[in-house]
Amino acid sequence: MNGIDLREMARYLSRHPSKMPVVVRAGWRLRARQWWRRPPFLPLPGESYWHFRMITATGSTSATLSAREVVNAATWSLRQRDER
């Protein structure tokens, strides 16, 4: 997935395992609808939606988010949803 260094994310989550549920919950909310019907059969966000989210977060589709930025964004996103 463009925009996130998965190795850095894995290292960060291994050092901060309490953040794992936050990242998983937020990631699950980003999944494409009916993801099981299209290869690669993984609950990933759609390409156009991911580009939109990267532009709104960083101003560029080629930027890379740090693991800390991903966790902070996931925490903020879930907090916003819970406050409704």
Per-residue pLDDT of the chain (84 residues; tens, 9 = 90+): 578 888 999 999 999 999 999 999 988 988 988 999 988 888 888 888 888 988 988 888 888 889 999 999 899 988 887 665
What pTM does this model have? 0.77
Residue 4 bridge partners (DSSP): 65
Using an 8 Å Cβ cutoff, are 5 and 64 in contact? Answer: yes
Domain that holds residue 74: 6-82
DSSP structural state of residue 84: -
Q: Give the list of residues 6+ apart from residue 8 with CB closer than 8 angstroms, or none.
A: 66, 67
Structural domains counted in the chain: 1
The DSSP output letter for 22 is H
In a domain, 1, yes or no: no
65, β-bridge pairs: 4
